[in-house]
Chain A
Amino acid sequence: MAVALARRDPAPAASADAVVCEHVTVRFTTERGTVTALENIDLTIPRGSFLTLLGPSGCGKSTLLRVMADLIEPTSGRIAVLGDVPATARQNREIGFVFQDAALLPWRSVMENVTLPLEVGGGKALPGARAPQELLSLVGLTGWETAYPHELSGGMRQRVAIARALVSGPRLLLMDEPFGALDEITRDRLNEELLQVWESTGTTIVFVTHSIYEAAFLGQKVLLLAARPGRVRELVPVPLPTPRRLAMRETPEFVALAGHLRRVLETC
């Protein structure tokens, strides 16, 4: 259940954790010099947990997510995803990724977008694959199978992206500000529905956001990152019961938590 920040884990039971970062540092070399995007990140994310990454822009939260997905290689430090190097987890199709703007393929219908992960990967068998039709009904898009992305609203596009990320049966779902461009009402609804998806699939979710309320409402723990260079500021447990309901955002516990997150963010 808990997400622990393990600076020195005495017995690192690697297979029990979805992600283990040890001193992960990422530097980018540009024309104007070297930028440290992440510095010395130590982090352990247990399997089945829901962690939100919160921080100001430039704190490297998207970079950290991309390191987990094997899209960026750390300059130094070690990272294990599902007990192995990220490349292995990626090649075994254990990682699902949801992008900020859905990244649907406009020439494919809703159903064809969801089944894309089943078609690619050099014909590798996917034992954990899930039925696309079931996933579409899970995200409330039954009846939209033949629609094209340009016919959908922003919220519906993100639902398709979530179904697509889940179709290979990943054990780690990485989400990069997926609801950032949506209006507040749609975002609230999708937040609640995402928690139901999490409960029904048991997938570990790492969710990047710059919204304090979203981070506090979704996560079991909130990892606060500071900017320039990106580093861990604080790991804040969320004292709210599950299942979460939107009304919980009016409880004194939630208000106090949001206030705390805001105060820490102001110093990041």
Chain B
Amino acid sequence: MANHAEPVTMAGGFVEDAEAQARFAARRRYLAWRGRLLPVAAVIVFLLVWWQAVEIFDIKPFIAPSPVAVAAVLYTRFDMLMTNLLPTAIEAVSGFLLGNFAAISLATAFVYRKTMEEALFPIAVMVNTIPVVAKAPILVLLLGNGMEPKIAIAAIICFFPTLVNMTRGLRDVRSEQLELMRVLSATPREVFLRIRVPNALPYLFSALKIAASTAVIGAIVGEWIGSTKGIGALIIQSTYNFDSPLLYATIVVGSTFSALFFGVISLIERRVLRWNVPHNA
């Protein structure tokens, strides 16, 4: 076949044109900076409007604090905020790992044992319909007042999306790929590791990205009930004390952590799924 190879250069027919390439690069740089600066500018404008509104209409601090007051709390009480973030972060990450591990294991069982899916999936759907605020007190009663119920809530909240996505990803394999593996006399283990798992990875990562933010929400809601430390406890305390600058600062810390968690998962996804076109596009 060698003597009739298809053109091997992707740029066949193109002539080097330094000026056009420079223009193209400049345009791409401009678009990249635009994409980064526009949201920053929008946030700054929003904060300015908020600040001026509080000043001009003389809004009481316990109704809505000025962003300056929130920033001051973030700066002066940073250590206290971080001390409270730590347990929430541990609970969210532990729950994330536990819930997703359980969901991936059960999805694998579902794919190979249809009976298990028929028996257990309705239960999973039912548990998923219970609101988080209702699950939290039940788990506190069951597991006590420590980190355990918070981890459990975060795990349960991660569990369902991953279970559904992973089951689909492991199952929706193209029939020709399975036929190929049969022609190659591949063992069931080889089919699982070389076809089903890589096929499920894009599905898994879309579930993990949802789970990254919901795990933090789960941990915070868990801390609302009978907890003395953590982002959730701080939200409740500052609300009851009408300390709205602290409340807002706590929310900023919680959201920032959530966004970072999401970013880490996205980063891992981009490294693992380099072959996935729709993701890169």
Contacts and interface: CB of A to CB of B under 8 A. Distances in A.
Nearest to A197: B1
A106 B275 contact: yes
A264 interface: no
Interface in B174-208: 174, 176-177, 179-187, 190, 194-195, 198-199, 201
Interface in A105-157: 105-108, 116-117, 119-122, 124, 137-141, 143-144, 148-150, 153, 155-156
A69 interface: yes
Contact of B180 (A97, A140, A143, A186): A97
A137 B179 CA distance: 26
Contacts of B276: 106-107
Contacts of A197: 1
Nearest to A152: B6
B126 interface: no
Nearest to B7: A153
Nearest to B195: A105
A176 to B, nearest CB: 9
A93 B1 contact: no
Interface centre among A71, A93, A107 (most CB of B within 10 A): A107
Nearest to A96: B183
Contacts of A153: 6
Contact of B183 (A97, A122, A138, A186): A97
Interface residues of B, number: 29
A90 interface: yes
Contacts of A99: 176, 179-180
A71 B194 contact: no
A144 to B, nearest CB: 8
B277 interface: yes
A101 interface: yes
B176 A120 contact: no
A141 to B, nearest CB: 8
B189 to A, nearest CB: 9
B42 interface: no
B104 to A, nearest CB: 18
A177 interface: no
B13 to A, nearest CB: 15
Contact of A93 (B8, B182, B185, B273): B185
B6 A91 contact: no
A69 B184 contact: no
A97 B180 CA distance: 7
Interface string B138-179: 000000000000000000000000000000000000101101
Given A99-B180, A121-B185, A139 B1 contact: yes
A40 interface: no
A122 B185 contact: yes
A61 interface: no
Nearest to A159: B1
A126 to B, nearest CB: 11
20 contacts: A66-B179, A70-B183, A71-B183, A95-B183, A97-B179, A97-B180, A103-B176, A105-B177, A107-B198, A107-B199, A107-B201, A107-B276, A119-B194, A120-B187, A121-B190, A140-B1, A141-B5, A150-B275, A159-B1, A197-B1
Given A121-B186, A121-B190, A196-B1, 7 more contacts: A69-B183, A103-B180, A106-B275, A107-B276, A121-B185, A121-B187, A140-B6
Q: 4 closest A-B pairs (Cβ-Cβ)? A: A140-B5, A193-B1, A103-B176, A120-B186
Interface of B: 1-2, 4-6, 8, 174, 176-177, 179-187, 190, 194-195, 198-199, 201, 273-277
